[in-house]
Amino acid sequence: MARMSGTAARAEALLGHGVISTTPVAGGDICTSTRLRLSDGRNAIIKTRPQPPEGFFAREAEGLKWLAEAKGARVAELLAVADDCIIVAWVEPGKPTTDAAERLGQSLAALHAAGAEQFGADVDGYIGLAPLPNRPLPTWPEFYASRRVMPYVRAAVDRKALSIEQANTIEAAMRRIHDFAGEAEPPARIHGDLWSGNVVWGTDGDAWLIDPAAHGGHRETDLAMLALFGLPHLQRVLDAYDEAAPLAEGWKERVGLHQLHPLLVHAVLFGGTYGARATAAAQSLLDGPSED
């Protein structure tokens, strides 16, 4: 009760409204999440973490605002942020529908089309609790290899989540990334951590995006991330996206390339089979597309 009282007081100080009730929200091992019922009738969610990394919540807040500015995909509304917490509007969870999936595909296309000034961002960020190097580079293949894949290969080796042989396979794929990357595209405005858990299917009939690791990247990255852990009605999302903003030839063969980074992040954070999966994705690139 004392923790909840402290959370309510923190929210009241930041929002300028009373908190009528608090309810713990299950899920997530990075932050403590609490639903707030406010005196003005709104509902919100506050995420807290003792002694978070520097700029942890600030980067999330900046990402939410930057994505929302595109007026594409629905993004949870930022209400307040401080060093130790972030508060966003509550999205009442509902059931995924094919209509919502179609709108998600269309709105993701609009979000990506809003673009970015560069591949990367002005400041480094986080993906989960893991650091996310964002220093810009001129092309996406350079950025992806140098800022996304290789830092995590090194970290995974250090944590013994990858063997030296596995790391060499992934590095070999990155040396040839220009062979796999497809036609050059301008920087897209991407969510950056768009796994299914960061899509909330609302009772209002829309899908909402939360918890971004936003930066200028490749639009196929978000789509590959949606496929990595499965998303309800994923094919409807992809079809609607492709109709709104046709994907470049060969995009299906590049899914494994774009999944390398999140697989390596999971290898670093959780170990298990993620290192082997990342190695297999890299090897499939080196082997080339299979012939039926």
- Residues 79-93 have a mean pLDDT of 97
How many C-beta atoms surround the C-beta of residue 158 within 10 A?
10
- Residues 134-144 have a mean pLDDT of 98
Question: Whole-structure pTM over 0.85, yes or no?
Answer: yes
**Cα–Cα distance between 61 and 88 in angstroms, integer?**
9
- Bridge partners of 132? 125
The mean predicted confidence, pLDDT, of the chain is: 95
**Cα–Cα distance between 214 and 18 in angstroms, integer?**
31
How many C-beta atoms surround the C-beta of residue 235 within 10 A?
12
Note the pLDDT of residue 17.
92
Using alpha carbons only, how large is the chain's radius of gyration in Å? Answer: 20
SS3 273: coil
Confidence check: pLDDT of 261 > 50: yes
Note the pLDDT of residue 153.
98
Contact 74/207 with Cβ under 8 angstroms? yes
Instruction: Give the confidence band of 254 by pLDDT, cuts at 50, 70, 90.
Output: very high
In this structure, is the dihedral angle defined by the CA atoms of residues 268, 273, 274 and 279, taken in order, positive or negative?
positive
- The H or E element spanning position 184 is none
Give pLDDT tens digits for 269-286: 999 999 999 999 999 999
- Residues 244-267 have a mean pLDDT of 97
Q: Two tokens at 26?
A: 């299950």
How many C-beta atoms surround the C-beta of residue 135 within 10 A?
14
Alpha-carbon torsion, ordered 173, 175, 181, 183, to 10 deg: -150
What domains can you pick out in the chain, each with its CATH number? 2-89 (3.30.200.20), 98-287 (3.90.1200.10)
Instruction: Give the confidence band of 172 by pLDDT, cuts at 50, 70, 90.
Output: very high
Instruction: Give the confidence band of 162 by pLDDT, cuts at 50, 70, 90.
Output: very high
Contact 32/49 with Cβ under 8 angstroms? yes
Note the pLDDT of residue 292.
45
How many C-beta atoms surround the C-beta of residue 25 within 10 A?
15
Identify whether 193 is a catalytic site residue.
yes
Given 193, 206, 211, 222, the catalytic residue: 193
**Cα–Cα distance between 142 and 162 in angstroms, integer?**
22
Q: Two tokens at 155?
A: 């970290």
